Amino acid sequence: MTAVYICHPKRSAVGRYGGALADIRPDDLLAQVIKAVLDDAPDFDHSAIEDSFMGCANQSGEDNRNVARMSGLLSGLSENVPATTINRLCGSLDAVGTAFRAIVSGEMELALAGGVESMTRAPFVIGKPEGAYDRRQTLQDTTMGWRFINKKLDAMYGTEAMPRTAENLAEKYNISREDQDSFAVWSQQKAAQAQDDGRLAAEITPITIERRKKRSVDRRYDEHPRPNTDITALEKLRPIYEGGTITAGNASGINDGAAAMLIASEAAVKKYGLTPMAKIEGMATAGVEPTIMGIGPVPATQKLLKRLNLSLDDIDIIELNEAFSAQVLACSRELGLEDRDPRLNPKGGSIALGHPLGASGARILISAIHELQRTKKDRALCTMCIGVGQGIALVVSRAGE
């Protein structure tokens, strides 16, 4: 199989909802990250990039009409470089996987991949009336979750909100509120340590935000972590559902962010003098019952490891995206991991760092790659649950020496 490498990966800091990145459009945000990737790479003719694949889960606001293409043009890429937006909801690793498969197939040698999401700037939308005087239209918030629900699908599978699907997993796997809060604190502690020692800063390219009165601001640090979080504080939070265990403290954030990288064949790495940081070993996806969508990483991981003739014992770093504590704990236990396996999300996960949906896949991948390089470990697994009942997994190995 053709060797495929990840080169010059970059990401923005992750902004809080209404926070540091609220004043920048998603297409402009991703454009800055793409430009940072290209500036970091050696000087070569960027028209050699054969396609660009970017994840985005919303696409109903400023990220409409193929945000991957618009961001590429805004970054200064030649109009000759095509682009497509990938929407597997929060399974945005699929953008990297799409580039990987295209190169393995021999279709191309060099591509961009990544993703973007501005949940702050997600619009309210309203459907067109079905009749001339129809007053029954409902304003829909597109920040996350279901909208314009198909009644037939609702009758077949239900259309439960994401926190409810996490409650379903907590009940199914008997995961206590105490265990969930404890895991959330652990995520915050790891993120705080990674911020303090510069491990997160190593991943981040500064984002310049043009403010009113022509004042620009550089954003270089993830702003979602709450380093002083403790069990006592989390215990005081009310659950989202009466009698439930899911709270704002043991769930991921609503965030803004972008990430990008070059995906290259071995021939392209040599031809353009690129610096490979990781080799993609494979990717897999799986479908699960929508009401327990958070368990999706389990079958996706099992499928991929079987295909690669590996086991979890062969994995040194596990980036399992933290949509909810309950979801991560359910997956960990189903996979036979300890709740606090030291390989799991070593720099904290989305509970602490935030979850900008279309960018999170590339974000966890970049975190894993940098950690492989820092620790000189060999192999990392990145895996995510996906709304409406899917999972995705990708394995990379360290490269560059």
Identified catalytic residue from 8, 46, 224, 355: 355
pLDDT in tens, 45-87: 999 999 999 999 999 999 999 999 999 999 999 999 999 999 9
Tokens standing for residue 348: 């904290």
Active site residue 385: yes
Tokens standing for residue 279: 């080799």
**Residue 212 in this model has a pLDDT that exceeds 90:** no
C-beta separation of 10 from 400 below 8 A? no
> At 220, is the pLDDT very low, low, confident or very high (cuts 50, 70, 90)?
confident
Q: To the nearest 10°, the Cα dihedral for 325, 326, 329, 335?
A: -130
Active site residue 224: no
**What does the DSSP assignment read for 3-14?**
-EEEEEEEEPPP
pLDDT in tens, 155-170: 999 999 999 999 999 9
d(CA 124, CA 311): 45
Which residue ranges form the domains of the chain, and what is each CATH number?
4-122+162-396 (3.40.47.10)
C-beta separation of 48 from 7 below 8 A? no
Identified catalytic residue from 7, 8, 56, 90: 90
d(CA 33, CA 256): 13
Q: Which residue has the tokens 């309950």?
A: 326
Active site residue 7: no
pLDDT of res. 135? 79
The single-letter DSSP state of residue 34 is H
d(CA 71, CA 251): 30
C-beta separation of 329 from 179 below 8 A? yes
Other CB atoms within 10 Å distance of the CB of residue 156: 10
**What does the DSSP assignment read for 177-237?**
HHHHHHHHHHHHHHHHHHHHTTTTGGGBPPEEEEEGGGEEEEE-S-----TT--HHHHHTS
Which residues contact residue 215 at a Cβ distance below 8 angstroms, ignoring those fewer than 6 apart? none
pLDDT of res. 213? 55
CA angle 303, 305, 309 (to 5 degrees): 120
**Residue 401 in this model has a pLDDT that exceeds 90:** no
d(CA 166, CA 2): 39
> At 1, is the pLDDT very low, low, confident or very high (cuts 50, 70, 90)?
confident
Residue type, 365: L
> Which residues are paired to 393 by β-bridges?
284, 383
Tokens standing for residue 371: 């950690």
pLDDT of res. 215? 54
Could you tell me which of 8, 76, 1, 2 has the C-alpha nearest to residue 362? 8
Prediction pTM value: 0.97
d(CA 401, CA 275): 10
**What does the DSSP assignment read for 336-386?**
T--TT-TTB-TT--HHHH---HHHHHHHHHHHHHHHHHHHT--EEEEEEEE
pLDDT in tens, 303-358: 999 999 999 999 999 999 999 999 999 999 999 999 999 999 999 999 999 999 99
CA angle 297, 344, 11 (to 5 degrees): 85
